[in-house]
Amino acid sequence: MSKPIVGHLDPYFFQVNEEIRRGLQMCFGTKNEFTMVISGTGSAGMETAVANFIEPGMKTGIFANGYFSDRLTEMARRHGADIVRFEKPWGETYSDAEAAAWIAEVKPAVVAFVQAETSTGAYQRGHAIAKAAHEVGALVIADCVTSLGGMPCEVDEAGIDIAYSGTQKALGCPPGLAPITVSPRGVEWLRSRKSTPVTWYLDLKLLLDYYESAHRYHHTAPISMFYALHESLRIIEEEGIEQRWARHKSNHELFVEGLKSIGISMHVAEGKRLWTLNTPLVPEGVSDAAVRKTLMDEHGIEIAGGFGPLAGKVFRIGTMGYGSSPENVDLLVRALGAAMRRN
């Protein structure tokens, strides 16, 4: 980030951007040429997806099982969507059959789901959702904020049309940019869109003109953040994306085992858990806040609490990026065990 800054129309900037595109394609699991970053944090990525692909009055089906699907709902509402929600308790996921049946019945124009739900620790696969959505002609938006770089997003394999993320989770980069990828079907959708998006800053057609061949000035991109993401992606490439996913998986499993050994079980069902963000249940009689304070004060370890319906019921503990290591898991389990005995 401390490298000399070049202009937002400098050839070197577009070269950096091209390399970022290749790195992001690898992490998203996509061949989409339309893979770029938005000059804002993860939520700007979410708003970009909503503002560009949902037109006023458009029937939008949202799989609602956590905080970020609520945020998606709020954004879609503001953009005039006709919203239908498939509600589930926070932490649950949708089976292929129930997702498909719901979409077939509701027949939305756009379907949105959260692949990696940071508020609950649950992972939702997109394959069945995308298949059913495409059968009714709908576009599929997936929130990959907490999966990208730490576990497979399977954008092409699942058939996801628009996926967005943030840089500060499993990509291991400071916050500041929102990666986004759009399928050829999504690009067609954008081209045939009738109304102009209300947002100018996040208008993908204008951003395409800037980042692609024309390089028409749009905004001044935060070049230092591009350098940061560029380097993060090089570190990921060095490790190998498959190896990185495997590392996140094994450290997550090690953590779950360690938690079990100190009598703590998980909120999310086995096989549905994120490898990047763990939600162990706060045991009966233990003060969530006191444990977190002890960890912070005595070990300098910051873990998060649950919120919304999960307030006081779960911890939210990241094992992502550089932080996902057997040493950290071991340290954390021991510190957590000691803190629990005292609180």
Contact 112, 141 (CB under 8 A): yes
Rounded Cα–Cα distance for residues 78 and 63 (Å): 18
Q: Does 71 bind its own copies (CB under 8 A)?
A: yes
Question: Candidates 154-162, 168-176, 262-270, 274-282 — which segment interacts with its own copies by CB under 8 A?
Answer: 168-176
Interaction residues for its own copies, span 194-223 (CB under 8 A): 196-202, 218-223
Q: Does 230 bind its own copies (CB under 8 A)?
A: no
Interaction residues for its own copies, span 117-156 (CB under 8 A): none
Residue with tokens 């970022």: 20
Instruction: Write down the least CB distance from residue 117 to its own copies, Å.
Output: 15
Q: Does 7 bind its own copies (CB under 8 A)?
A: yes
Q: Which is nearer to its own copies, 96 or 302 (CB)?
A: 302
> Residue 301's closest CA among 313, 278, 318, 279?
318
Q: Which is nearer to its own copies, 27 or 50 (CB)?
A: 50
Read off the tokens for 184: 């050829």
Q: Does 328 bind its own copies (CB under 8 A)?
A: no
Instruction: Write down the least CB distance from residue 223 to its own copies, Å.
Output: 6
Size of the site for its own copies (CB under 8 A): 41
* Inter-CA distances, 327 with 147, 154, 261, 280, 334, Å: 22, 29, 16, 19, 11
Strand residues in 39-177 grouped as ranges (E): 59-64, 82-87, 110-114, 116-117, 122-123, 139-143, 162-164
Q: Does 16 bind its own copies (CB under 8 A)?
A: no
Q: Which is nearer to its own copies, 34 or 210 (CB)?
A: 210
Q: Does 288 bind its own copies (CB under 8 A)?
A: no
Burial 128-151 (b: 16+ CB within 10 A, else e): bbbbbbbeeebbbbbbbbbbbbbb
Read off the tokens for 198: 């209300």
Q: Does 78 bind its own copies (CB under 8 A)?
A: yes
Rounded Cα–Cα distance for residues 184 and 208 (Å): 14
Rounded Cα–Cα distance for residues 266 and 130 (Å): 28
Q: Which is nearer to its own copies, 13 or 113 (CB)?
A: 13
Q: Does 176 bind its own copies (CB under 8 A)?
A: yes
What phi and psi values does residue 110 have, to the nearest 5 degrees? -135, 140
Strand partners, 113: 142
The secondary structure of residue 209, as a DSSP letter, is H
Q: Does 300 bind its own copies (CB under 8 A)?
A: no
Contact 115, 147 (CB under 8 A): yes
Question: Candidates 45-53, 87-95, 98-106, 245-253 — which segment interacts with its own copies by CB under 8 A?
Answer: 45-53
Chosen residue from 17, 30, 39, 69 binding its own copies by CB under 8 A: 39
Instruction: Write down the least CB distance from residue 75 to its own copies, Å.
Output: 5
Instruction: Write down the least CB distance from residue 274 to its own copies, Å.
Output: 17
Instruction: Write down the least CB distance from residue 217 to its own copies, Å.
Output: 8
* Inter-CA distances, 109 with 22, 114, 136, 298, Å: 30, 17, 8, 51
Chosen residue from 23, 29, 40, 149 binding its own copies by CB under 8 A: 40
Instruction: Write down the least CB distance from residue 67 to its own copies, Å.
Output: 9
Q: Does 297 bind its own copies (CB under 8 A)?
A: no
Could you list the residues that contact its own copies (CB under 8 A)? 1-2, 5, 7-8, 39-44, 46-47, 51, 71, 74-75, 78-79, 166, 168, 174-176, 196-202, 218-225, 228, 302
